[in-house]
């Protein structure tokens, strides 16, 4: 089946191209609007002059208009183009803000975190989202969705990562419309006694009430955490052990309430409500009931962003099932993607969950029927098992490149996890909804609690058993954007060859494989000839990474403190050997001497011309006299030093017109030679 024969698919691809162009080129809003306007005029002229049948030129201009709309929608989503956005009036001075809690995030060890909407700034009515961090304090009630607070402060920018190849939290927040953050203590805000109620606040209160009811039942702590994640999208109370087990078993998607759960719920409702089809207009009634129940579940689960996205997508899927035409599935999925990106938020395309959801669903719709043709089992049990295996393989093929690109690991036992867990997930979801309803009405029998708690415990035990097979978990896989694109090219051409083998398709398939192999070999060749040294930033610690070809040596006082930084760097640089050593006080970099002074070793190598001076562990030195004696070209201070010392060193270097680099402000320092 040729995907590009569907108009909705072609238009959606054009829209995605437009969004990507707008994202990377960032054209000004007037230019984006002008492109759309000119495209509409040209399309109108072609349509008027050729009314009988769409011409090739008409199709090309339609695609160009859709690309222009994608560029324009991306431009509209930028804060600088939103008229009442707070950033238009922002200054460095403290301002009086009124904030409304939109979403309660998972807290960390130090603070409770929220996504908030700015309602006003001083006397101005403004819009926009910021990240709110409030110092954790168990003696004070945490804020809830729809709460409104008043604060007098200034907004802080969100800084990019300080070490190379680390997760870019600033970019992640920017892609969901958040550019600034606020940090407060518990006594630095005032909660307004009366706040307006929104649908999101109602959903949060419903979910909070359900959680309080479930906590009164006799569920185990680990089991209750999983129940909250599966049914309510609340992962705050999942224990670190359970969290790690699900990740390593390749089953973490089970805990993230998203497309998988909504899809299973849709299938369950489609089966349970089948008797409605015997009524007059029964199929239409069934569609309406299913859509209403899907959105009721979304409300039950708190209307999170991922849940809203998944429910919207499967609302379109429900309509595709209603039409009952196989070719309509691609059209409906493409239309759902088109309208979600256009109407909800074009930046959704850059979110990992969004990419994984649509990649999995498109792969299942496309590849699953092909796998079913390979074998038609005679027995019911074998047939259902093969269907489950087919769905798992199709979904894994769809998400594999994205998973490797973002997470750099592959669970070799994903099929085992799917075969053991997914058959029971329908029961867990359906039975769980019954448990919630009975709990809300105070009529939940203890025997049902015991049964459900036991099933969840069994599931956790199975996942834990799979997770302990560490030899089947492939970690630290280097995989970049080029490999991502080429791997999807391999998968798509492989499926096309499977559908209908031809000389041209086989040649294209083999050429893309050769391109992938050539690219990997080129990366390895470049790595073998590379040498670099990185002075990283670690709070209260020191870490230096030296790369020589495919070997990385990490110099540190505390090797555990450098684990994350070294791992991220090793994956990105496609290295295969990692070694830890204690820090020494002198290195030769490209023929020039770098000296490290710390609180225990303040002796300088004699008879050496020092090019770079690195200060760690807050050495007590006469800094000005030291500079006069060795005359370095640059001074570097890492995150292990006291801030008061850093300010003094910075001032001294400024006075002597000597470059000073503090890793806590400017990020890691990189030498390459």
pLDDT in tens, 63-122: 899 999 999 998 888 877 777 888 888 777 888 999 999 888 888 878 889 999 999 998
Phi, psi of 10, deg, nearest 5: -65, -40
Burial class (CB in 10 A: 0-12, 13-18, 19+), 442: exposed
Arithmetic mean of pLDDT over the chain: 86
The three-point CA angle 79-84-89 to 5° equals: 80
The mean pLDDT value for 39-49 works out to 82
At 217 the pLDDT is: 86
The mean pLDDT value for 310-338 works out to 78
- Cα separation, 455 vs 476, whole angstroms: 33
The mean pLDDT value for 208-237 works out to 85
The mean pLDDT value for 451-473 works out to 85
Sort residue 297 into left (φ over 0), alpha (ψ -120 to 50) or beta. alpha
Binned at pLDDT 50, 70 and 90, residue 493 comes out as: very high
Going from the C-alpha of 540 to that of each of 352, 453, 535, 583, 669, the distances in angstroms are: 32, 43, 14, 15, 17
The mean pLDDT value for 270-278 works out to 86
Highest mean pLDDT of the ranges 120-129, 392-401, 653-662: 653-662
Domain spans of the chain, in order of start: 3-77, 86-196, 199-250+415-478, 361-412, 481-528, 531-672
Provide the 8-state DSSP code for 613.
E
- Cα separation, 431 vs 436, whole angstroms: 9
Going from the C-alpha of 551 to that of each of 545, 547, 673, the distances in angstroms are: 10, 6, 16
- Cα separation, 201 vs 438, whole angstroms: 23
Going from the C-alpha of 198 to that of each of 127, 151, 190, 295, 404, the distances in angstroms are: 16, 21, 20, 16, 39
Going from the C-alpha of 239 to that of each of 142, 428, 451, 651, 665, the distances in angstroms are: 20, 20, 21, 47, 34
At 163 the pLDDT is: 94
CATH-assigned architecture of domain 86-196: Beta Barrel (2.40)
- Percent residues over pLDDT 70 in the chain: 96
Q: With beta carbons less than 8 A apart as the criterion, state whether 422 and 388 touch.
A: yes
Nearest-Å Rg of the Cα atoms of the chain is 29
Q: Across the chain, how many H-helices and E-strands are there?
A: 21, 20
- Cα separation, 83 vs 100, whole angstroms: 20
Neighbours of 79 (CB within 10 A): 18
- Cα separation, 322 vs 582, whole angstroms: 66
At 603 the pLDDT is: 64
Highest mean pLDDT of the ranges 16-30, 295-309, 399-413, 586-600: 16-30
Binned at pLDDT 50, 70 and 90, residue 150 comes out as: very high
Q: With beta carbons less than 8 A apart as the criterion, state whether 428 and 457 touch.
A: no
Binned at pLDDT 50, 70 and 90, residue 557 comes out as: confident
Going from the C-alpha of 17 to that of each of 63, 73, 321, 408, the distances in angstroms are: 10, 12, 29, 26
Neighbours of 301 (CB within 10 A): 25
Going from the C-alpha of 29 to that of each of 19, 25, 341, 346, the distances in angstroms are: 13, 12, 18, 15
**Which residue stretches of 155-220 are H helix?**
169-174, 199-215
């Amino acid at each position: 089946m040729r995907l590009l024969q569907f108009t909705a698919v072609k238009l959606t691809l054009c829209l995605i191209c437009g969004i990507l162009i707008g994202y990377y080129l960032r054209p000004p809003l007037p230019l984006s609007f002008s492109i759309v306007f000119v495209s509409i005029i040209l399309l109108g002229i072609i349509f008027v002059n050729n009314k009988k049948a769409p011409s090739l030129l008409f199709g090309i201009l339609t695609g160009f208009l859709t690309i222009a709309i994608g560029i324009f929608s991306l431009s509209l989503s930028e804060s600088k183009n939103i008229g009442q956005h707070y950033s238009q009036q922002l200054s460095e001075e403290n301002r009086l803000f009124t904030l409304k809690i939109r979403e309660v995030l998972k807290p960390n060890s130090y603070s409770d975190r929220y996504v908030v909407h700015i309602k006003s700034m001083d006397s101005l009515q403004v819009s926009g989202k910021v990240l709110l961090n409030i110092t954790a304090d168990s003696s004070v009630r945490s804020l809830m969705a729809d709460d409104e607070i008043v604060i007098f402060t200034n907004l802080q920018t969100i800084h990019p990562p300080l070490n190379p190849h680390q997760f870019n939290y600033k970019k992640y927040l920017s892609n969901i419309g958040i550019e600034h953050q606020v940090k407060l203590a518990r006594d630095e805000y005032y909660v307004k006694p009366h706040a307006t109620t929104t649908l999101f606040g109602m959903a949060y209160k419903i979910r909070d009430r359900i959680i309080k009811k479930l906590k009164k039942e006799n569920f185990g702590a680990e089991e209750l955490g999983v129940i909250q994640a599966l049914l309510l999208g609340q992962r705050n109370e999942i224990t670190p052990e359970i969290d790690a087990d699900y990740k390593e078993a390749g089953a973490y998607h089970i805990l993230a309430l998203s497309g998988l759960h909504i899809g299973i719920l849709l299938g369950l409702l489609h089966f349970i409500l089948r008797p409605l089809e015997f009524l007059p207009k029964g199929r239409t009634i069934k569609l309406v009931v299913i859509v209403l129940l899907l959105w009721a579940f979304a409300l039950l689960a708190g209307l999170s962003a991922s849940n809203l996205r998944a429910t919207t997508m499967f609302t379109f899927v429900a309509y595709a099932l209603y039409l009952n035409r196989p070719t309509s599935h691609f059209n409906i999925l493409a239309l759902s993607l088109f309208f979600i990106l256009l109407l909800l938020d074009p930046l959704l395309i850059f979110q990992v969950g969004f990419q994984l959801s649509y990649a999995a669903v498109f792969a299942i719709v496309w590849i699953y029927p092909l796998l079913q043709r390979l074998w038609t089992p005679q027995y019911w049990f074998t047939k259902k098992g093969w269907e489950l295996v087919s769905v798992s393989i199709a979904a894994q093929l769809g998400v594999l490149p994205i998973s490797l690109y973002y997470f750099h690991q592959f669970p070799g036992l994903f099929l085992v996890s799917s075969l053991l867990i997914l058959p029971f997930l329908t029961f867990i979801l359906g039975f769980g909804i019954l448990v919630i309803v009975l709990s809300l009405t105070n009529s939940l029998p203890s025997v049902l609690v015991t049964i459900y708690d036991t099933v969840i415990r069994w599931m956790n035990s199975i996942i834990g058993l799979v997770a302990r097979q560490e030899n089947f978990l492939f970690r630290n896989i280097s995989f970049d954007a080029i490999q991502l694109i080429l791997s999807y090219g391999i998968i798509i051409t492989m499926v096309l060859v499977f559908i209908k083998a031809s000389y041209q398709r086989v040649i294209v398939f083999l050429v893309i494989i050769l391109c992938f192999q050539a690219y990997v070999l080129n990366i390895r060749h470049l790595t073998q000839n590379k040498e670099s040294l990185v002075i990283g930033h670690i709070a209260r610690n020191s870490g230096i990474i030296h790369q020589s070809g495919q070997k990385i040596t990490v110099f540190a006082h505390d090797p555990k403190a450098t684990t994350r930084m070294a791992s991220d760097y090793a994956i990105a640089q496609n290295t295969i050997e990692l070694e830890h050593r204690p820090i020494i006080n002198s290195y030769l970099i490209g023929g020039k001497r770098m000296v490290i002074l710390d609180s225990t070793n303040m002796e300088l190598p004699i008879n050496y011309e020092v090019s770079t001076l690195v200060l760690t562990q807050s050495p007590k030195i006469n800094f000005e006299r030291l500079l006069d004696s060795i005359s370095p070209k640059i001074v570097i201070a890492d995150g292990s030093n006291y801030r008061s010392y850093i300010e003094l060193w910075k001032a001294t270097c400024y006075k002597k017109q000597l470059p000073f680099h503090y890793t806590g402000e400017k990020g890691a320092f990189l030498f390459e030679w």
